[in-house]
Structure 1
């Protein structure tokens, strides 16, 4: 259905010339999201998609899940939000609808859990980061600076990991964090330490946590998650129940 959709985009005045491979891939994933070819020009118009939209991804490292879905490695903190947004769009998502969430979670890109040269700030120094189809990011920490001192991520991530704003932090310290992310993405399995049934379902669960961070704000989310409710009882925790217990790997 790609070629008929390309023709419709041309007829609508939204495409001129020959579309690149990533533009065609955007069409395929947008159709896979449930749209008909006739609806794709409207989506392109709403999201501002042009033939050059995906050019920033051309030189980027792209890892693919078993279903072929693209995940974009983030190696430049200054472009993290842009790459996360493009990864969501390329996968047939609607980043214009999730931009308000990113606006509310803007602290994710700065500060303790913010980005620094591709790492997730102090908490994941020497780590690696990848933009996911959900429009959020997944990070893995590098090795500990000192053998006897825990990596800061180990203080803030529990079980298989924890979401802080827009960043899902895989638990633990890793000699090769980029390889941890790559193998997790390409296998489609759960990250180290997680009990989730699959990476796709886990990221859906964690994206809802990102929405909760945006809804409550930094201070109130911590109050709701850690103080008002007991995080040691996830099956009774309203924020975990909202995010989907099964998707998060909780067996209740």
Structure 2
């Protein structure tokens, strides 16, 4: 259905120019999400998709899951938000509907848990950062600068990892953080330490936590998650229950 949809988009005046492979892939995943070709035309208008929309992906490292879904490595912190949005769109998502969440979680692109410099900022310095099909990001930290000094990730991530705003931070320090993420993506398996059934289900669970961060705001989320409710009892925790206990790997 890809080529007939390309023709339909062109006839509707939405596509002006050559449809490259990224554009065609966007059509494939949008159709796979259950949309008709006519609906794809409407989505292209709503999301502002043009022949050049996916140009920023050219030359970037893309890892693919077992289902061939693309994950885009972020090697320039200044473009993290843009690449996260494009990756969601490419995978058939509707980033215009999640833009408010990204705006409310904009603090996660700066500061200790944000993207100050390099791949992933201070907390995960020398780490690796990847945009996911959910429109969120996943990161793994590099090895500690000094063996005796804990990585900040060790202080602020629990169990297998913790979501801060838009970023799921894999707990721990790694000699080759990019390999950790690439292996999880290409195998479809959960990253180290997580009890989730698969990476896809983990990311779905963590996206809900990103939505909770946006809904409550920074201070209120921490209050709700850590103080008002006991994080040591995830099966009774309303925020974990909302995110999906099974997706998060909790056995209750």
TM-score normalised by the chain length of structure 2: 0.99
Counterpart in 1 of 2:89?
A: 89
Secondary structure of the residue aligned to 1:108 is helix
Q: Is the 8 A contact 2:118 2:125 kept in 1?
A: no
- Structure 1 residue matching 2:225: 3-state secondary structure: helix
Taking only aligned residues, the RMSD between alpha carbons, in angstroms, comes to 0.8
Who is 2:41 aligned against? 41
In 1, Cα distance between the equivalents of 2:74 and 2:118?
6
Separation in 2 of the partners of 1:182 and 1:118?
Answer: 18
Given the two structures, how large is their TM-score scaled by the length of structure 1? Answer: 0.99
Query: Secondary structure of the residue that 1:247 maps to in structure 2?
Result: helix
Asked whether the equivalents of residues 75 and 117 of structure 1 are also in contact (C-alpha less than 8 Å), the reply is: no
Unaligned runs of at least 5 residues, structure 2: none
- For residues 145-156 of structure 1, the aligned pairs below 5 Å read 145-156=145-156
- Deviant stretches of 4+, over 3 Å: none
Q: Which runs of 5+ in 1 are unaligned?
A: none
Higher mean C-alpha deviation, range 37-46 or range 15-24: 15-24
8 A contact 1:118–1:129 mirrored in 2: no
- Matched residue of 2:115: which SS? coil
2:187 alignment counterpart: 187
CA distance in structure 1 between the partners assigned to 2:151 and 2:82 by the alignment:
28
Question: Per-residue deviation at 1:122?
Answer: 1.8
1:205 aligned onto 2:176:
no
Shift in alpha-carbon separation, 1:66–1:213, aligned structure 2, 3 A: same
Distance in 2 separating the partners of 1:34 and 1:118: 38
Which residue pairs with 2:163 in the alignment? 163
Q: CA deviation at 1:116?
A: 2.7
Residues 105 and 213 of structure 1 are in contact (CA less than 8 Å); yes or no, is this contact kept in structure 2?
Answer: yes
User: In structure 2, the residue corresponding to 1:24 is in which secondary structure?
Assistant: helix
